């Protein structure tokens, strides 16, 4: 799949958004098939990011998230959760506060390895100028407030140390779920 991107890399021409989205969608389908074959009945979330030049494309299924964090501390979710409770919030059936404590808040209606091959949400946009991109599981964002994630991200010069601080905050908050964080410092910092 990745070899479809190589011709543009070798000629210094960036791949088209359509080609990148096609490759990421194929990767999602390959992951979906692998989960079904190697862990029947299993499922997982997936949030992946490809940065090329000054552009980025996200592929997303489930309730792991991608955030953009500006140098001013503004944090913005780039992905939309595929959870039952999030859908109920979108339909006006639950408030955000009710969703945070709902007993079914971890029930997903889309996951890699579950059901028919599903299409990932694809988000293509210019790379933010400066700041950070954070990819994380619900074991992090579900326990640590977004404003605190941004503060912890900006409090360290080293992205690895910032991730360790965020994961420590999730563990201190009880950490009943797996916590994962990847922090990318963007050019312009």
Domain ranges of the chain: 2-185
Written as tens digits, the pLDDT of the chain (189 aa) is 555 555 555 555 667 888 889 999 999 999 999 999 999 988 999 999 999 888 999 999 999 999 999 999 999 999 999 999 999 999 999 998 898 888 888 889 899 998 876 789 999 999 998 899 999 998 899 889 999 999 999 999 999 999 999 999 999 988 766 889 999 999 876
For 15, phi then psi, to 5°, come to: -65, 155
For 157, phi then psi, to 5°, come to: -80, -25
Judge residue 66's burial from the number of C-beta atoms within 10 Å of its C-beta, 0-12 exposed, 13-18 middle, 19 or more buried: buried
Is the domain covering 2-185 a CATH 3.30.70.20 domain? no
Taking the model in full, what pTM does it have?
Answer: 0.88
User: Distance (Å, rounded) from C-alpha 83 to C-alpha 47?
Assistant: 14
Q: Identify the sign of the CA torsion 19, 25, 28, 32.
A: negative
Which strands form 121-126's sheet, in the order they lie side by side?
46-52, 55-61, 121-126
């Amino acid at each position: 799949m990745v070899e479809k991107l190589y011709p543009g890399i070798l000629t210094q021409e960036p791949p088209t958004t359509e080609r990148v989205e096609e490759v990421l969608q194929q990767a999602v389908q390959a992951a979906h098939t692998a989960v079904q074959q190697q862990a029947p009945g299993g499922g997982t979330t997936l949030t992946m990011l490809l940065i090329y030049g000054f552009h980025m494309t996200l592929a997303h299924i489930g309730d792991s998230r991608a955030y953009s964090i500006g140098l001013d501390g503004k944090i913005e979710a780039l992905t939309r959760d595929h959870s039952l409770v999030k859908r109920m919030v979108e339909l006006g059936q639950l408030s955000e506060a009710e969703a945070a404590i709902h007993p079914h808040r971890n029930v997903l209606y889309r996951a890699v390895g579950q059901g028919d091959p599903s299409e990932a949400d694809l988000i293509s946009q210019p790379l933010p100028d400066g700041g950070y991109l954070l990819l994380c599981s619900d074991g992090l964002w579900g326990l640590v407030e977004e404003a605190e994630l941004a503060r912890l991200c900006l409090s360290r010069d080293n992205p690895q140390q910032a991730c360790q601080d965020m994961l420590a905050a999730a563990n201190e908050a009880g950490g009943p779920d797996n916590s994962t964080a990847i922090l990318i410092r963007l050019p312009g910092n």
